[in-house]
Chains A and B, each alone.
Chain A
Amino acid sequence: GAVVSQHPSWVICKSGTSVKIECRSLDFQATTMFWYRQFPKQSLMLMATSNEGSKATYEQGVEKDKFLINHASLTLSTLTVTSAHPEDSSFYICSAENRWGQGAEGGANVLTFGAGSRLTVL
């Protein structure tokens, strides 16, 4: 089936450093990937939509200079949290959109999610 690999699954960093999270679609091409942030006991908050070969579209209130998104190929998108602070600690989840007929899901726009990355900033 359609698989999205997200790495790393856990990361701890010091305040002020930058952290990169990778999201790869393993058996299909993802022209669009989404980055979500999930706070404890809350739903997913869409941060940005990443389109291959173009700039990401950020949701209102999301700092694009802090959360850098790069979608360099049809199978890879990266999220870099720059100058991380403790308030950036969260669970970050990426997803890739399967268009018609791609991947095991097929049919319409189905999201396949990565396993998530838990970021802890000390």
Chain B
Amino acid sequence: AQSVTQLDSQVPVFEEAPVELRCNYSSSVSVYLFWYVQYPNQGLQLLLKYLSGSTLVKGINGFEAEFNKSQTSFHLRKPSVHISDTAEYFCALYNFNKFYFGSGTKLNVKP
């Protein structure tokens, strides 16, 4: 069975502080992993993806994520957040022609 767990439903952080959004997955086979961002009343926008190769993946808007197979994790990080990063972030796993989404983490950046 495939599943994605996002441990934090909400993460408050001050502007210019670093942030890490946690994602763990469960799968019996190799997977592709993604992070998407959703702004209010909008669809999802791809931040970054891990398909193979280097375990450190860089995405748009200064975000990066590290694939850790032994810990089955794919945590999202940004060294310095901006107010504009306030949004909901979804971790997703792909295999067997389906995407499985985590429950989402709301990032609230405070001035």
Which residues of the other chain, A, contact B102 by a CB distance below 8 angstroms? 43
Chain A: interface residue total (CB-CB under 8 A): 25
The stretch of B16-24, B37-45, B67-75, B77-85 that contacts the partner chain:
B37-45
Determine if B49 and A108 form an interchain contact, defined as CB atoms under 8 angstroms apart: yes
Measured CB to CB, the closest approach of chain A to B7, in angstroms, equals 14
Chain A interface main SS type: strand
A108 touches B98 (CB 8 A): no
Would you call B104 and A93 a contact (CB within 8 A)?
no
Which residue in chain A gives the minimum CB-CB distance to B106? A41
B51 touches which of A34, A43, A46, A107 (Cβ 8 Å) = A107
Asked if B46 and A105 sit within 8 Å, CB to CB, the answer is: yes
Which residues of A does B touch, CB under 8 Å?
4, 6, 9, 32, 34, 42-44, 46, 49, 91, 93, 95, 105, 107-116, 118
